[in-house]
Chain A
């Protein structure tokens, strides 16, 4: 168990941030009353690429150009546009986001983005380039979520679809995707993959809309484009440092 020999501040600090990110995101998604609101929560969560770049300035002492605030504002404007809604549903959308449950959902998604931005920088600063402790962090996440399950009992319906989703999320997203991404970034076309990662908010919105059977309004599509553009401008600002 070489992982346990990693620096303590990495294990405890980054571990706490990893758990906070996942718990906040699950709580945010669960707090949405309607499936369409999940698209907005997803976009708020995708503020993390811009926040990662912004936080790398004080944490990793990276130098950024003047475009960084513009990138962050563009991404934030994207989430605002998605939340404000459009057309006939604008009033209903705003009523939800101003309700205690809506504020909770948005705040949790924002905490997820912020803690992942912090994790991404601090893991680089405190961790080891050769080895991480993601499996331990994932287990700690399971313990945290299990604790919340005990505090807030919920009724489970064990449908075949639900079990399949559980397996795909566990094995695919939490396990295989990390390994594939790590392999891709180390041995694959790094620049191409970095560029492709900016389109994840767009792909996620499209896939979520199809999977959940909701039609994203023009405001969500605009938000999606602005969040992706904000992340790209933020990253570009690093190469424009004076």
Chain B
């Protein structure tokens, strides 16, 4: 398997692993930070970072 094909496949598998972990993280956060507070902040963090990366990468 060529290098990039293998790396990208491992990356895809890592994404599946992270998603499989999500439900437990959501519940853990719901029990401590709150059902809506924790996810709102997590989404804000993810959205802001993704947007910054997208803007940095765009011409």
> Hey, which bits of chain A sit against chain B, CB under 8 A?
1-3, 22, 25-27, 29-30, 32, 35, 38, 41-42, 45, 134-136, 138-139, 141-142, 145-146, 148-149, 152, 154-159, 161-163, 165-178, 180-181, 183-189, 192-193, 196-197, 199-200, 203-204, 206-208, 211-212
A183 partner residues in chain B, CB cutoff 8 A: 8, 11-12
Is the CB–CB distance between B23 and A166 below 8 Å? no
Q: Which DSSP category, helix, strand, loop or mixed, fits chain A's interface?
A: helix
Q: Considering the complex of A and B, which 9 residue pairs feature the smallest CB-CB distances, nearest first?
A: A184-B12, A30-B35, A162-B32, A188-B8, A174-B46, A139-B47, A145-B40, A135-B50, A211-B24
- Count of A-B contacts judged by CB separation below 8 Å: 218
On chain B, the number of residues with a Cβ less than 8 Å from chain A's Cβ atoms is 51
Give, as a whole number of angstroms, the nearest-CB distance from B26 to chain A: 5
Once A29-B23, A162-B32, A189-B5 are accepted as A-B contacts, the answer to whether A184 and B11 lie under 8 Å apart by CB is yes
Is the CB–CB distance between B35 and A171 below 8 Å? no
> Hey, which bits of chain B sit against chain A, CB under 8 A?
1, 4-5, 7-51, 54-55, 58
Which single member of B19, B20, B36 contacts A148 (CB below 8 Å)?
A: B36
